[in-house]
Copies of this chain bind each other. A is one copy, B any other.
């Protein structure tokens, strides 16, 4: 922050800016790029010429809307899909998936598998992860070199984005996935929190709604959160942070999976809804593995008649509402996306949630709050990972600090 700007930074940053503009616009003309970056046409001309000669961009003559206008037609440029390849891995409860993605963001190959994450040994979990990566790499020999791996995992990651510090999906803590995978494959690896990737994915998918400030809440086994503030992904100072689900809703209240008492998750997680619906004591852990199917069944009952099921969803909505209200007290109201299977029961939790928010400081500008739901979180996580990896390539590899981009020129 205290460091001056050197002359070569200029070109570096403007290169990254042009790449970013192309990534967002898809097939912009040079004029379009000049408009969005506020750089002069001459500068854009020079930079795009460089990027094309380096194989990062390609011209695609067929402008999507030639529209028979007068004048020299625009020549669209787009990302060269072959300029780079990245790999995403998503590790979540009982599920492991990976995908090979080209520079334009299209999926080249994919693999998904079920595995009992809670029961696997540390080594077995690591081996599964290494294995799925290896299979994808081996299956695409023409896609070498792969330039980046991004692994999203449900749990707390460190702020260097290298380790899984703690996760509800495995009893093992402090797994240095970056070191392991980098040693194995020689490719830079980033480890990310799944909800943070959901936030990145949401912004990519709908930049109108999810722009400068928004919140993504994942309702699943546990409660996760990702947040973008002032256009930047919010993280903790030492970890991925944003442990919304473990903010205390009621001091010394219901027992949480994490061992503490009164966490939001202990009222709104799958197991908590089950516990309340079945009238089990809230001071005791839930032995049963509560599935999405269980929750769906409870929701059906809750919709059909008043009773403990409906009350369980009310309690869940209330806990989330107070949590969001407290968050709004800190950051002010912002658009919220309710993601994950729990979004299917949003009709049951919405009213108690809004009632709770209205009882908090965040309820003052409740008009500014709006909710959207997305029951399937996996595609969002994958898209978020892909964007994270591609943004890294755009900035660090194709707009590097020192010499000209060493990126392989691929036809």
Contact = CB atoms under 8 A, between A and B. Distances in A.
Interface string A174-189: 0000000000000000
B229 A213 contact: no
Contact of A334 (B1, B237, B361): B237
A261 interface: yes
Interface in A48-79: none
Interface residues of A, number: 63
A2 B356 contact: no
A247 interface: yes
A14 interface: yes
A359 B326 contact: no
A360 B326 CA distance: 15
A402 interface: no
Interface centre among A17, A37, A251 (most CB of B within 10 A): A251
A18 B39 CA distance: 26
Interface in A6-27: 6-7, 9-10, 13-14, 17-18, 20-21, 24
B360 A260 contact: yes
A268 interface: no
Interface string A242-279: 11101111111000001011010000000000000000
A322 B20 CA distance: 42
Contact of A359 (B260, B325, B331): B260
A18 B2 CA distance: 9
Contact of A243 (B18, B243, B330): B330
A212 interface: yes
A13 B4 contact: yes
Nearest to A265: B361
A199 to B, nearest CB: 14
Nearest to A14: B4
A375 interface: no
Contact of A236 (B212, B261, B331): B331
A238 interface: yes
B332 A241 contact: yes
Contact of A260 (B3, B20, B332, B361): B361
List the 3 closest A-B pairs by CB distance, nearest first: A236-B332, A246-B361, A4-B39
